[in-house]
Amino acid sequence: MNFIYKIYSGYDGFQPKRIPDRLTGGRYLLLGWKRYLDEVEIGDEVWIYFYGPHEFEPGVYIKGRVATINVNVDKEVQLRVYNYDTSSPLTDKKNSGRIAAIVRARGRQVFLLPGDWETVSDCTVFTSANSCSKRHCEWCATWQSFQRIRKPELRLPARLGNHANAFIPAYWAIPPRCYLNFKTIQPVIHQVTHILKSFKTGNAKLAYPLARAMFEAIHEWSIVPDFDCIVPIPLSPDKADKGEIHRTRLLAQELSKLFGIPLRQFLKLSDPVSKRRMLSDGYTYSQFEQVYSGSLEVEDIDSIGHILLVDDVCTYGGTLKVTSRSLWAKNPELQITATVAVQMIVKSVVLDESHIST
């Protein structure tokens, strides 16, 4: 559910330019929520609309997610802010006007943001993906039709096992050789698979909607996003030399903006490593993991407590396993939450096929 929270700057001088001063730890904002507190859930999105006598343009200056709810004496909601601006609204003039109309009623501070408040009618995700660059995917009917993986559907990838504290994939995708009949797999999963292939072949515009899905999945799985930083799986140096896009870094950059958490590139590969090439040449998966581990370099992470480890695709979890082990070797106390845009449909990870097959 999405809410608009209205703030009158004349009440205590809280205006957009003072947002950084009001944030705790640079991330959290405490909001008094006296009425309708029972309707709020952890993970709900809240847009904060400012208006009043000071010199700023009325509009939404903060977007965040509900992190904690105090239903006792204080009646407060703690918002985890993922985007804010101190000088200009986050919405354009047209949409700021629409929000102004929604929050016009006097005596109310909390308003429900309509589900159809903003629509994307020119979605080009299956062609150029130019529309995805506008970052309106949370309101796009096409993207909303892609059902995310729910926890009861998934078993941990076999090779990953307990090598991460948590593992959250956003969508299912179809591998080249799938144990299920292609014709029985839900059409939306075929569509996500097409989008993934487009991303993997260089369409960087798809990074935001895929990252947005990962962002949503983390909240839906009730993972507290108390990450110190976001860390992408490294790109093989031979791919970088060829000018291929760094997919995991693009996803991590978008997640960094959504969560308001810094991106840190603690990982790099000293030598080219290709899982597909090694397996096609007859090497075993364990041999790939050994080579990958030998090439993986990890910076000093002693001061880091919790990271969000980002990859674009997971099949059996070997890359995430090796990376997590290497990170733990540097810092045994490190907490690792791993997330991927898609989990390939392999028999060992599927617990419930009802949301995959027709």
Residues 320-358: pLDDT tens digits? 999 999 999 999 999 999 999 999 999 999 999 988 988
Q: Is residue 130 part of a domain?
A: no
Instruction: Assign 115 a pLDDT band (cuts: 50, 70, 90).
Output: low
Q: Is residue 235 part of a domain?
A: yes
Q: What is the mean pLDDT of the chain?
A: 89
Give how many domains the chain has, as a whole number: 2
Instruction: Assign 120 a pLDDT band (cuts: 50, 70, 90).
Output: low
Query: Is 294 or 141 the better-scoring residue by pLDDT?
Result: 294
Q: Do residues 163 and 291 both lie within one domain?
A: yes
Place of tokens 């559910």: 1
Q: How far apart are CA 275 and CA 260, in angstroms?
A: 32
Q: Do residues 282 and 338 both lie within one domain?
A: yes
Q: Do residues 261 and 305 both lie within one domain?
A: yes
Does pTM surpass 0.85?
A: no
Q: Which of 67, 96, 112 is the last residue of a domain?
A: 112
Percent of the chain whose predicted confidence (pLDDT) is above 70: 97
pLDDT at position 271, please?
92
Which residue range forms the structural domain that includes residue 9? 2-112
Q: Do residues 296 and 184 both lie within one domain?
A: yes
Question: What CATH code is carried by the domain that includes residue 86?
Answer: 2.40.10
pLDDT at position 201, please?
86
Q: How far apart are CA 245 and CA 193, in angstroms?
A: 18
Residue-wise pLDDT for 182-204, tens only, equals 889 999 999 999 999 999 989 99
Q: Do residues 39 and 165 both lie within one domain?
A: no
Q: Do residues 100 and 162 both lie within one domain?
A: no
Give the SS3 label for residue 40: coil
Q: Which of 87, 112, 137 is the last residue of a domain?
A: 112
DSSP code of 202? T
User: Does the structure show a pLDDT above 60 at 116?
Assistant: no
Quick one: 87 exposed, middle or buried, by C-beta within 10 A (0-12, 13-18, 19+)? exposed
Sorted by sequence, the CB contacts under 8 Å of residue 25 that are 6+ apart come out as none
pLDDT at position 279, please?
84
Q: Do residues 34 and 108 both lie within one domain?
A: yes
Q: Is residue 119 part of a domain?
A: no
Q: Are 343 and 149 in contact (CB under 8 A)?
A: yes
Instruction: Assign 34 a pLDDT band (cuts: 50, 70, 90).
Output: confident
Residue-wise pLDDT for 75-94, tens only, equals 889 999 988 999 999 987 88
Query: Is 50 or 73 the better-scoring residue by pLDDT?
Result: 50
Q: How far apart are CA 232 and CA 248, in angstroms?
A: 5
